[in-house]
Protein backbone atom coordinates (compact mmCIF):
# COMPACT_ATOMS: atom_id res chain seq x y z
CA UNK A 1 0.00 0.00 0.00
CA UNK A 2 2.68 2.47 1.04
CA UNK A 3 4.29 2.21 -2.38
CA UNK A 4 1.32 3.53 -4.35
CA UNK A 5 2.02 6.82 -6.09
CA UNK A 6 -0.16 9.48 -4.44
CA UNK A 7 -0.06 11.89 -7.38
CA UNK A 8 -3.20 12.48 -9.45
CA UNK A 9 -3.20 10.65 -12.80
CA UNK A 10 -1.01 12.19 -15.50
CA UNK A 11 -2.55 15.33 -17.01
CA UNK A 12 -5.08 15.79 -14.19
CA UNK A 13 -5.00 18.10 -11.19
CA UNK A 14 -6.06 18.11 -7.58
CA UNK A 15 -7.53 21.45 -6.58
CA UNK A 16 -6.75 22.38 -3.00
CA UNK A 17 -9.18 24.64 -1.10
CA UNK A 18 -7.83 28.08 -2.08
CA UNK A 19 -7.91 27.08 -5.75
CA UNK A 20 -11.39 25.52 -5.58
CA UNK A 21 -12.65 28.67 -3.89
CA UNK A 22 -11.28 30.91 -6.65
CA UNK A 23 -12.55 28.62 -9.41
CA UNK A 24 -16.01 28.37 -7.83
CA UNK A 25 -16.17 32.16 -7.50
CA UNK A 26 -15.35 32.56 -11.20
CA UNK A 27 -17.95 29.93 -12.17
CA UNK A 28 -20.57 31.68 -10.00
CA UNK A 29 -19.79 35.01 -11.69
CA UNK A 30 -20.09 33.42 -15.13
CA UNK A 31 -23.37 31.68 -14.27
CA UNK A 32 -24.85 34.89 -12.89
CA UNK A 33 -23.82 36.86 -15.98
CA UNK A 34 -25.14 34.30 -18.50
CA UNK A 35 -28.39 34.01 -16.55
CA UNK A 36 -28.65 37.80 -16.65
CA UNK A 37 -28.78 37.37 -20.44
CA UNK A 38 -31.49 34.73 -20.38
CA UNK A 39 -29.18 31.76 -21.00
CA UNK A 40 -30.07 28.63 -19.03
CA UNK A 41 -27.79 25.98 -17.55
CA UNK A 42 -27.65 22.46 -19.01
CA UNK A 43 -25.81 19.45 -17.64
CA UNK A 44 -25.12 16.11 -19.28
CA UNK A 45 -23.35 12.94 -18.09
CA UNK A 46 -19.56 12.61 -17.99
CA UNK A 47 -19.73 9.66 -20.34
CA UNK A 48 -21.73 8.87 -23.47
CA UNK A 49 -22.32 5.69 -25.41
CA UNK A 50 -19.22 5.26 -27.57
CA UNK A 51 -21.09 5.61 -30.89
CA UNK A 52 -22.36 9.04 -29.83
CA UNK A 53 -18.80 10.36 -29.79
CA UNK A 54 -16.86 8.44 -32.43
CA UNK A 55 -16.61 9.98 -35.89
CA UNK A 56 -17.41 13.48 -34.62
CA UNK A 57 -13.92 14.90 -34.07
CA UNK A 58 -11.95 13.72 -37.09
CA UNK A 59 -9.40 10.93 -37.04
CA UNK A 60 -7.03 12.83 -34.77
CA UNK A 61 -9.76 13.68 -32.29
CA UNK A 62 -11.04 10.10 -32.19
CA UNK A 63 -7.59 8.99 -31.01
CA UNK A 64 -7.89 11.31 -28.00
CA UNK A 65 -11.20 9.95 -26.71
CA UNK A 66 -11.00 8.17 -23.34
CA UNK A 67 -12.90 4.90 -23.80
CA UNK A 68 -14.45 2.90 -20.98
CA UNK A 69 -14.03 -0.86 -20.86
CA UNK A 70 -17.13 -3.05 -20.85
CA UNK A 71 -17.89 -4.56 -17.47
CA UNK A 72 -18.50 -7.91 -15.81
CA UNK A 73 -18.25 -10.90 -18.11
CA UNK A 74 -17.62 -8.54 -21.06
CA UNK A 75 -14.52 -6.97 -19.51
CA UNK A 76 -12.33 -9.75 -20.90
CA UNK A 77 -13.26 -8.78 -24.48
CA UNK A 78 -11.11 -5.67 -24.05
CA UNK A 79 -13.83 -3.69 -25.82
CA UNK A 80 -15.21 -0.29 -24.90
CA UNK A 81 -18.89 0.67 -24.95
CA UNK A 82 -18.75 4.11 -23.31
CA UNK A 83 -16.48 7.13 -23.61
CA UNK A 84 -15.76 10.28 -21.65
CA UNK A 85 -17.20 13.55 -22.93
CA UNK A 86 -14.75 15.18 -25.36
CA UNK A 87 -16.52 18.53 -25.70
CA UNK A 88 -19.86 20.14 -24.82
CA UNK A 89 -21.17 20.50 -28.39
CA UNK A 90 -21.89 16.85 -29.23
CA UNK A 91 -23.82 16.42 -25.94
CA UNK A 92 -25.79 19.58 -26.83
CA UNK A 93 -26.62 18.11 -30.25
CA UNK A 94 -27.75 14.89 -28.55
CA UNK A 95 -29.92 16.81 -26.07
CA UNK A 96 -31.53 18.82 -28.88
CA UNK A 97 -32.28 15.58 -30.77
CA UNK A 98 -33.64 13.88 -27.65
CA UNK A 99 -35.73 16.62 -26.02
CA UNK A 100 -36.41 18.89 -29.03
CA UNK A 101 -40.07 19.69 -28.45
CA UNK A 102 -39.61 19.92 -24.66
CA UNK A 103 -37.09 22.73 -25.07
CA UNK A 104 -38.06 26.36 -25.60
CA UNK A 105 -36.97 27.48 -29.07
CA UNK A 106 -34.63 29.24 -29.59
CA UNK A 107 -32.86 27.18 -26.92
CA UNK A 108 -30.33 29.39 -25.14
CA UNK A 109 -28.04 27.38 -22.90
CA UNK A 110 -24.67 27.63 -21.21
CA UNK A 111 -22.68 24.68 -19.95
CA UNK A 112 -19.65 24.81 -17.66
CA UNK A 113 -18.17 21.35 -17.19
CA UNK A 114 -15.04 19.24 -17.48
CA UNK A 115 -14.15 17.40 -20.67
CA UNK A 116 -11.46 14.76 -21.12
CA UNK A 117 -8.90 14.34 -23.91
CA UNK A 118 -6.00 11.93 -24.00
CA UNK A 119 -3.61 14.59 -25.26
CA UNK A 120 0.05 14.51 -24.31
CA UNK A 121 0.08 16.54 -21.08
CA UNK A 122 2.15 19.71 -21.16
CA UNK A 123 2.38 23.26 -19.82
CA UNK A 124 -1.21 24.46 -19.61
CA UNK A 125 -2.44 21.35 -21.45
CA UNK A 126 -4.45 18.92 -19.36
CA UNK A 127 -6.32 15.67 -19.88
CA UNK A 128 -9.17 16.90 -17.71
CA UNK A 129 -10.11 20.53 -18.22
CA UNK A 130 -13.18 22.70 -18.08
CA UNK A 131 -15.02 24.12 -21.02
CA UNK A 132 -17.50 26.96 -20.79
CA UNK A 133 -19.86 27.18 -23.76
CA UNK A 134 -22.81 29.43 -24.49
CA UNK A 135 -25.03 28.65 -27.47
CA UNK A 136 -28.33 29.57 -29.07
CA UNK A 137 -29.94 26.74 -31.02
CA UNK A 138 -32.81 27.13 -33.45
CA UNK A 139 -32.32 30.68 -34.70
CA UNK A 140 -30.74 31.85 -37.95
CA UNK A 141 -31.19 35.50 -36.93
CA UNK A 142 -28.18 37.79 -36.54
CA UNK A 143 -29.79 38.90 -33.29
CA UNK A 144 -28.67 35.59 -31.83
CA UNK A 145 -25.09 36.19 -33.00
CA UNK A 146 -25.11 39.72 -31.58
CA UNK A 147 -26.63 38.55 -28.29
CA UNK A 148 -23.86 35.94 -27.94
CA UNK A 149 -21.12 38.53 -28.36
CA UNK A 150 -22.78 40.92 -25.89
CA UNK A 151 -23.21 38.12 -23.32
CA UNK A 152 -19.60 36.95 -23.69
CA UNK A 153 -18.39 40.55 -23.31
CA UNK A 154 -20.52 40.98 -20.18
CA UNK A 155 -19.13 37.77 -18.67
CA UNK A 156 -15.53 38.83 -19.33
CA UNK A 157 -16.26 42.26 -17.88
CA UNK A 158 -17.85 40.67 -14.79
CA UNK A 159 -14.71 38.56 -14.37
CA UNK A 160 -12.63 41.73 -14.26
CA UNK A 161 -11.06 41.15 -17.68
CA UNK A 162 -12.10 44.42 -19.33
CA UNK A 163 -9.90 45.99 -21.98
CA UNK A 164 -10.40 43.21 -24.54
CA UNK A 165 -10.97 43.48 -28.28
CA UNK A 166 -13.59 41.41 -30.11
CA UNK A 167 -12.38 40.68 -33.63
CA UNK A 168 -15.23 39.91 -35.97
CA UNK A 169 -15.48 38.39 -39.40
CA UNK A 170 -17.94 36.34 -41.41
CA UNK A 171 -17.41 33.05 -43.16
CA UNK A 172 -19.19 34.49 -46.16
CA UNK A 173 -16.99 37.59 -46.32
CA UNK A 174 -13.93 35.37 -46.06
CA UNK A 175 -15.17 33.15 -48.88
CA UNK A 176 -15.72 36.29 -50.97
CA UNK A 177 -12.23 37.49 -50.17
CA UNK A 178 -10.59 34.18 -51.07
CA UNK A 179 -12.48 34.31 -54.34
CA UNK A 180 -11.39 37.91 -54.94
CA UNK A 181 -7.75 36.93 -54.51
CA UNK A 182 -8.22 34.35 -57.25
CA UNK A 183 -7.73 31.30 -55.05
CA UNK A 184 -9.23 28.20 -56.70
CA UNK A 185 -12.24 26.90 -54.67
CA UNK A 186 -10.50 23.57 -53.94
CA UNK A 187 -7.68 25.44 -52.15
CA UNK A 188 -9.98 27.56 -49.95
CA UNK A 189 -9.47 25.30 -46.93
CA UNK A 190 -5.68 25.44 -47.35
CA UNK A 191 -5.78 29.23 -47.60
CA UNK A 192 -7.91 29.57 -44.44
CA UNK A 193 -5.65 27.24 -42.44
CA UNK A 194 -2.62 29.32 -43.40
CA UNK A 195 -4.38 32.65 -42.73
CA UNK A 196 -5.37 31.42 -39.27
CA UNK A 197 -1.70 31.61 -38.29
CA UNK A 198 -1.28 35.31 -39.13
CA UNK A 199 -1.02 36.34 -35.45
CA UNK A 200 1.64 33.73 -34.82
CA UNK A 201 3.86 33.82 -37.90
CA UNK A 202 3.19 37.25 -39.45
CA UNK A 203 2.48 38.16 -43.09
CA UNK A 204 5.74 36.69 -44.43
CA UNK A 205 5.15 33.41 -42.60
CA UNK A 206 1.62 33.16 -43.97
CA UNK A 207 2.89 33.93 -47.48
CA UNK A 208 5.48 31.13 -47.30
CA UNK A 209 2.87 28.70 -46.06
CA UNK A 210 0.38 29.70 -48.76
CA UNK A 211 2.94 29.07 -51.47
CA UNK A 212 3.89 25.75 -49.86
CA UNK A 213 0.23 24.78 -49.87
CA UNK A 214 0.10 25.34 -53.61
CA UNK A 215 -1.66 28.70 -53.89
CA UNK A 216 -1.02 30.80 -57.00
CA UNK A 217 1.89 33.20 -56.44
CA UNK A 218 -0.12 36.14 -57.78
CA UNK A 219 -2.86 35.60 -55.17
CA UNK A 220 -0.29 35.36 -52.38
CA UNK A 221 1.51 38.52 -53.52
CA UNK A 222 -1.75 40.50 -53.60
CA UNK A 223 -2.68 39.30 -50.11
CA UNK A 224 0.74 40.14 -48.68
CA UNK A 225 0.57 43.60 -50.27
CA UNK A 226 -2.87 44.15 -48.66
CA UNK A 227 -1.64 42.96 -45.28
CA UNK A 228 1.30 45.37 -45.45
CA UNK A 229 -0.64 48.29 -46.88
CA UNK A 230 -1.56 49.99 -43.61
CA UNK A 231 -5.21 50.00 -44.69
CA UNK A 232 -6.09 46.32 -44.82
CA UNK A 233 -9.78 46.93 -44.14
CA UNK A 234 -10.10 49.54 -46.89
CA UNK A 235 -8.45 47.29 -49.46
CA UNK A 236 -10.52 44.26 -48.44
CA UNK A 237 -13.76 46.25 -48.59
CA UNK A 238 -12.89 47.30 -52.14
CA UNK A 239 -12.22 43.73 -53.19
CA UNK A 240 -15.39 42.39 -51.54
CA UNK A 241 -17.53 45.05 -53.25
CA UNK A 242 -16.69 43.37 -56.55
CA UNK A 243 -18.64 40.13 -55.99
CA UNK A 244 -22.14 39.09 -54.82
CA UNK A 245 -20.71 36.76 -52.15
CA UNK A 246 -18.33 39.51 -51.02
CA UNK A 247 -21.07 42.15 -50.75
CA UNK A 248 -23.37 39.78 -48.87
CA UNK A 249 -20.60 38.85 -46.43
CA UNK A 250 -19.67 42.47 -45.85
CA UNK A 251 -23.32 43.38 -45.26
CA UNK A 252 -23.52 40.60 -42.66
CA UNK A 253 -20.47 41.92 -40.83
CA UNK A 254 -21.67 45.53 -40.91
CA UNK A 255 -25.14 44.58 -39.73
CA UNK A 256 -23.73 42.53 -36.87
CA UNK A 257 -21.46 45.40 -35.79
CA UNK A 258 -24.46 47.75 -35.84
CA UNK A 259 -26.64 45.33 -33.87
CA UNK A 260 -23.99 44.64 -31.26
CA UNK A 261 -23.24 48.30 -30.58
CA UNK A 262 -20.99 49.43 -27.75
CA UNK A 263 -19.72 46.54 -25.64
CA UNK A 264 -19.26 46.49 -21.90
CA UNK A 265 -15.56 46.20 -21.10
CA UNK A 266 -14.20 46.07 -24.63
CA UNK A 267 -14.25 47.04 -28.27
CA UNK A 268 -15.60 45.33 -31.36
CA UNK A 269 -14.02 45.61 -34.80
CA UNK A 270 -14.18 43.97 -38.20
CA UNK A 271 -11.09 41.81 -38.65
CA UNK A 272 -10.96 41.10 -42.41
CA UNK A 273 -8.64 38.09 -42.37
CA UNK A 274 -9.73 36.43 -39.11
CA UNK A 275 -10.27 32.78 -40.08
CA UNK A 276 -10.72 30.74 -36.86
CA UNK A 277 -10.43 27.00 -37.58
CA UNK A 278 -13.21 27.32 -40.07
CA UNK A 279 -14.09 23.71 -40.74
CA UNK A 280 -17.54 23.94 -39.14
CA UNK A 281 -18.33 27.66 -38.98
CA UNK A 282 -20.91 28.83 -41.50
CA UNK A 283 -21.54 32.51 -40.69
CA UNK A 284 -20.13 35.18 -38.38
CA UNK A 285 -17.01 34.26 -36.38
CA UNK A 286 -15.34 36.13 -33.55
CA UNK A 287 -12.33 35.97 -31.33
CA UNK A 288 -11.75 37.94 -28.15
CA UNK A 289 -8.14 38.92 -27.52
CA UNK A 290 -6.58 40.79 -24.66
CA UNK A 291 -3.38 42.63 -25.53
CA UNK A 292 -2.13 42.89 -21.94
CA UNK A 293 -2.59 39.19 -21.52
CA UNK A 294 -1.38 38.27 -25.03
CA UNK A 295 -4.11 35.66 -25.15
CA UNK A 296 -7.30 34.67 -26.91
CA UNK A 297 -9.76 34.47 -24.03
CA UNK A 298 -12.96 33.63 -25.92
CA UNK A 299 -14.11 32.77 -29.42
CA UNK A 300 -17.12 31.57 -31.31
CA UNK A 301 -19.35 31.86 -34.31
CA UNK A 302 -22.26 30.43 -36.23
CA UNK A 303 -22.21 26.71 -37.09
CA UNK A 304 -25.50 25.73 -38.73
CA UNK A 305 -24.38 22.24 -39.77
CA UNK A 306 -23.37 20.68 -36.46
CA UNK A 307 -26.24 20.59 -33.97
CA UNK A 308 -28.50 18.58 -36.27
CA UNK A 309 -25.96 15.73 -36.53
CA UNK A 310 -28.24 13.25 -34.77
CA UNK A 311 -31.36 14.38 -36.61
CA UNK A 312 -29.92 14.23 -40.13
CA UNK A 313 -30.83 17.84 -40.84
CA UNK A 314 -29.35 21.31 -40.38
CA UNK A 315 -30.31 23.12 -37.19
CA UNK A 316 -29.14 26.74 -37.05
CA UNK A 317 -26.89 27.48 -34.09
CA UNK A 318 -24.49 30.14 -32.93
CA UNK A 319 -22.40 30.40 -29.83
CA UNK A 320 -19.17 31.08 -28.09
CA UNK A 321 -16.70 29.45 -25.78
CA UNK A 322 -14.66 31.07 -23.02
CA UNK A 323 -11.03 29.95 -22.74
CA UNK A 324 -11.95 29.18 -19.17
CA UNK A 325 -8.79 27.35 -18.04
CA UNK A 326 -6.66 30.20 -19.41
CA UNK A 327 -8.95 32.74 -17.76
CA UNK A 328 -8.79 30.87 -14.44
CA UNK A 329 -4.99 30.88 -14.68
CA UNK A 330 -5.01 34.65 -15.29
CA UNK A 331 -7.33 35.21 -12.32
CA UNK A 332 -5.12 32.90 -10.23
CA UNK A 333 -2.03 34.95 -11.13
CA UNK A 334 -3.88 38.18 -10.35
CA UNK A 335 -4.82 36.84 -6.91
CA UNK A 336 -1.28 35.60 -6.17
CA UNK A 337 -0.54 35.65 -2.47
CA UNK A 338 -3.98 36.77 -1.41
CA UNK A 339 -5.51 33.59 -0.01
CA UNK A 340 -9.25 33.70 0.58
CA UNK A 341 -9.90 33.53 4.34
CA UNK A 342 -11.04 30.04 5.38
CA UNK A 343 -13.45 31.66 7.87
CA UNK A 344 -14.01 35.00 9.65
CA UNK A 345 -13.21 33.71 13.10
CA UNK A 346 -11.51 30.71 14.69
CA UNK A 347 -12.95 29.65 18.05
CA UNK A 348 -10.03 28.11 19.94
CA UNK A 349 -10.13 25.36 22.57
CA UNK A 350 -8.44 26.05 25.92
CA UNK A 351 -9.39 23.18 28.24
CA UNK A 352 -11.57 20.08 28.14
CA UNK A 353 -14.21 21.72 30.32
CA UNK A 354 -14.56 24.53 27.79
CA UNK A 355 -15.27 22.37 24.75
CA UNK A 356 -19.07 22.43 24.93
CA UNK A 357 -18.92 26.18 25.63
CA UNK A 358 -16.74 26.66 22.54
CA UNK A 359 -19.18 24.70 20.35
CA UNK A 360 -22.10 26.85 21.63
CA UNK A 361 -20.15 30.06 21.13
CA UNK A 362 -19.23 29.08 17.56
CA UNK A 363 -22.83 28.22 16.78
CA UNK A 364 -24.08 31.50 18.28
CA UNK A 365 -21.66 33.50 16.11
CA UNK A 366 -22.80 31.56 13.03
CA UNK A 367 -26.35 32.56 13.91
CA UNK A 368 -25.13 36.16 13.54
CA UNK A 369 -24.01 35.42 9.99
CA UNK A 370 -20.30 34.97 10.66
CA UNK A 371 -18.28 32.14 9.14
CA UNK A 372 -16.82 30.40 12.15
CA UNK A 373 -14.25 27.65 12.26
CA UNK A 374 -13.87 25.69 15.48
CA UNK A 375 -10.45 24.20 16.14
CA UNK A 376 -11.10 20.45 16.06
CA UNK A 377 -7.70 19.11 17.13
CA UNK A 378 -5.84 18.83 20.41
CA UNK A 379 -3.06 21.40 19.93
CA UNK A 380 -2.06 24.10 22.42
CA UNK A 381 -3.03 27.73 21.77
CA UNK A 382 0.15 28.51 19.80
CA UNK A 383 -0.56 25.65 17.41
CA UNK A 384 -4.17 26.76 17.06
CA UNK A 385 -3.11 30.30 16.16
CA UNK A 386 -0.69 28.91 13.56
CA UNK A 387 -3.60 26.92 12.12
CA UNK A 388 -5.67 30.14 11.91
CA UNK A 389 -2.80 31.93 10.23
CA UNK A 390 -2.34 29.15 7.71
CA UNK A 391 -6.02 29.27 6.80
CA UNK A 392 -5.90 33.11 6.58
CA UNK A 393 -8.53 33.39 9.32
CA UNK A 394 -8.12 36.98 10.61
CA UNK A 395 -9.52 36.67 14.14
CA UNK A 396 -9.30 34.13 16.97
CA UNK A 397 -11.67 33.93 19.89
CA UNK A 398 -10.00 32.69 23.10
CA UNK A 399 -11.86 31.71 26.23
CA UNK A 400 -10.29 29.93 29.18
CA UNK A 401 -11.91 29.09 32.51
CA UNK A 402 -11.14 32.58 33.84
CA UNK A 403 -12.91 34.37 30.97
CA UNK A 404 -15.86 31.98 31.14
CA UNK A 405 -16.32 32.69 34.85
CA UNK A 406 -16.14 36.42 34.21
CA UNK A 407 -18.55 36.27 31.22
CA UNK A 408 -15.82 37.68 28.99
CA UNK A 409 -14.05 36.66 25.78
CA UNK A 410 -10.59 37.46 24.42
CA UNK A 411 -10.27 38.30 20.71
CA UNK A 412 -6.90 38.14 19.00
CA UNK A 413 -6.19 39.93 15.71
CA UNK A 414 -3.88 37.54 13.87
CA UNK A 415 -2.36 40.22 11.65
CA UNK A 416 -1.47 42.78 14.33
CA UNK A 417 -1.11 40.33 17.20
CA UNK A 418 -3.26 42.63 19.35
CA UNK A 419 -5.59 41.03 21.86
CA UNK A 420 -8.66 42.60 23.50
CA UNK A 421 -10.94 41.19 26.15
CA UNK A 422 -14.59 42.12 25.81
CA UNK A 423 -17.84 41.31 27.58
CA UNK A 424 -19.73 38.41 26.01
CA UNK A 425 -22.62 40.57 24.85
CA UNK A 426 -20.23 42.92 23.08
CA UNK A 427 -18.45 40.13 21.23
CA UNK A 428 -20.42 40.19 17.97
CA UNK A 429 -20.13 43.97 17.60
CA UNK A 430 -16.42 43.78 18.38
CA UNK A 431 -15.83 41.05 15.77
CA UNK A 432 -17.78 42.97 13.15
CA UNK A 433 -15.74 46.10 13.74
CA UNK A 434 -12.49 44.13 13.61
CA UNK A 435 -13.53 42.41 10.34
CA UNK A 436 -14.39 45.74 8.73
CA UNK A 437 -11.11 47.36 9.80
Strand runs labelled E in 333-417: 345-347, 372-374, 395-398, 408-413
Q: Which is nearer to a copy of itself, 195 or 288 (CB)?
A: 288
85 closest CA partner among 113, 119, 55: 113
Shorter beta-carbon distance to a copy of itself: residue 230 or 382: 382
**Residue 300: CB minimum distance to a copy of itself, A:** 14
Smaller CB separation from a copy of itself, 17 or 202: 17
Q: Do the beta carbons of residue 211 and residue 170 sit within 8 Å?
A: no
Minimum separation from the CB atom of position 22 to a copy of itself (A): 10
The nearest distance, CB 203 to a copy of itself, in angstroms, is 35
104 close to 289: Cβ distance less than 8 angstroms: no
296 closest CA partner among 305, 304, 306, 286: 286
Which CB sits closer to a copy of itself, 254 or 426? 254
Minimum distance from residue 275 beta carbon to a copy of itself (Å): 26
Minimum distance from residue 193 beta carbon to a copy of itself (Å):
25
Closest to a copy of itself by CB, 42 or 227: 42
Q: Name which of 239 and 412 has its Cβ closer to a copy of itself.
A: 412
Task: Residue 305: name the closest of 59, 93, 133 by CA.
Answer: 93
Nearest distance in Å: CB 170, a copy of itself = 17
Q: What is the DSSP letter of 119?
A: P
Rounded to whole angstroms, how far apart are CA atoms 326 and 290? 12
For a copy of itself, the closer of residues 220 and 384 by Cβ is: 384
Distance in Å, CB of 251 to a copy of itself, minimum:
13
Q: Based on CB atoms, which residue is closest to a copy of itself, 210 or 365?
A: 365
DSSP secondary structure of 340-363: PPS-SEEE----GGGHHHHHHHHH
Q: Which residues of 247-286 are buried (b: 16+ CB within 10 A; e: fewer)?
A: eebbebbeebbeebeebebbebebbbbbbbebeebbbbbb
Choose between 182 and 264: whose C-beta lies nearer to a copy of itself: 264
Task: Give CA–CA dist 433/341, Å, rounded.
Answer: 17
The order of strands in the sheet holding 40-41 is: 40-41, 107-116, 128-137, 317-322, 295-302, 284-290, 164-170, 266-270
User: In whole angstroms, how close is the CB of 387 to a copy of itself at the nearest point?
Assistant: 5
β-partners of residue 110 are 41, 134
Least spacing, CB of residue 64 vs a copy of itself, in Å: 8
Calculate the dihedral angle through the C-alpha atoms of 432, 374, 18, 418, rounding to the nearest 10 degrees.
50
CA–CA distance, 10 with 135 (Å, rounded to integer): 31
Helix (H, G, I), strand (E, B) or coil at 130: strand
Give yes or no for a contact between 260 and 150, defined as CB atoms under 8 angstroms apart.
Answer: yes
For a copy of itself, the closer of residues 79 and 231 by Cβ is 79
CB of 43 to a copy of itself, least distance (A): 4
Amino acid sequence: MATIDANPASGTRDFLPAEVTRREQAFATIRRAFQGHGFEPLDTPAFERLEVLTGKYGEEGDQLIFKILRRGEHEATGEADLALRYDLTVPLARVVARYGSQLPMPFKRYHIAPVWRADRPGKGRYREFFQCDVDTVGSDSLVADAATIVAVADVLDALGLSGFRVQLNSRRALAGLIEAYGVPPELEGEALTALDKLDKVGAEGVARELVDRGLPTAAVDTLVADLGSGDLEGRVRERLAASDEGRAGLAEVDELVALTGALPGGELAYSPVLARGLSYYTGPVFEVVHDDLAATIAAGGRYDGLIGMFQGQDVPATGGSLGIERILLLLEQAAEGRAAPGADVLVTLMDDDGRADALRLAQRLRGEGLRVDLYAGRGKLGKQLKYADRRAIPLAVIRGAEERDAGRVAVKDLASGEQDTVAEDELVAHLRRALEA
